[in-house]
Homo-oligomer: A and B are copies of this chain.
Amino acid sequence: MAAITPWRQLLLESIQANKHLKHSEYFQLATVRENGKPANRTVVFRGLIEGTEKLQFTTDARSHKIEEIKAQAFGEICWYFTDTREQFRISGTLDVIGEADRNAVRLKMRERAWFQSSPNSRLQFVGPSPGFPCPEGGPNDSTTPQLDPAQGPVENFCLVTLEPQEVDYLNLRKNKRYVFQKMGEFSWTQREVNP
């Protein structure tokens, strides 16, 4: 059975039903490290790219996931909605849009994501390199950077998209599970499987 992005409506309904919980915007993204071992971290959902099935989030050009995605551009999101007890496992290809991108449409998407971020989250991209050792005695708070709110994306700001190829949906309350697989552009199969 083929259907037009059948999981998209399910996901939007889950986001809506759980939106009173701030943490429902967070999901876990798994990638593969350059040494072949798995990596996993919490990421903030920044919406779907308009008119597409692609999920967006942002990251720092200095973070490890950038190297990991370059080596293996495949990721799996695990998104658990705590209130409605639904899990989406969304696997697909990752794409990083950084400052050096030459495509004007993509750079516009990156700019839009920058201005949709809060002033506080923008500041992270001009702070010290994430994951690097702090100076003796911890980070120096007196060097807190400043950013003009009208300023466009800084060098380290990257938009990342995940284009789903398979979605495994589990509803623990209803004890139902469905697997959706992409067959072609906007063409998906859907089948019910045992939870």
B residues in contact with A38, CB < 8 Å: 30-32, 38-39, 74-76, 91
Q: Is A108 an interface residue (CB 8 A)?
A: no
Distance A42 CA – B86 CA, assembled complex (angstroms): 10
Q: Is A5 an interface residue (CB 8 A)?
A: no
Q: Is A6 an interface residue (CB 8 A)?
A: no
B residues in contact with A177, CB < 8 Å: 130-131
B residues in contact with A183, CB < 8 Å: none
Residues of A115-167 whose CB lies within 8 A of B: 127-134, 138-139
Q: Is A26 an interface residue (CB 8 A)?
A: yes
Q: Are A28 and B78 in contact (CB under 8 A)?
A: yes
Q: Is A187 an interface residue (CB 8 A)?
A: no
Q: Are B82 and A82 in contact (CB under 8 A)?
A: yes
10 further A-B pairs in the complex, CB-CB below 8 A; given A36-B72, A82-B82:
A26-B80, A31-B38, A32-B36, A32-B37, A38-B74, A128-B194, A131-B194, A138-B192, A139-B175, A139-B195
Tell whether A77 pairs with B40 under 8 Å between CB atoms, given A30-B30, A32-B32, A82-B82: yes
Distance A30 CA – B43 CA, assembled complex (angstroms): 14
Tell whether A139 pairs with B194 under 8 Å between CB atoms, given A37-B76, A38-B74, A91-B37: yes
Chain A: residues with Cβ within 8 Å of the partner, total of: 46
Q: Is A193 an interface residue (CB 8 A)?
A: yes
Q: Is A106 an interface residue (CB 8 A)?
A: no
Tell whether A23 pairs with B80 under 8 Å between CB atoms, given A28-B28, A91-B37, A194-B128: yes
Distance A23 CA – B86 CA, assembled complex (angstroms): 12
Distance A94 CA – B26 CA, assembled complex (angstroms): 26
Residue-wise interface mask of A (178-195) relative to B, using a CB-CB cutoff of 8 A (1 in contact, 0 not): 010000000000011111
Contact residue among B30, B37, B78 (Cβ-Cβ distance under 8 Å from A74): B37
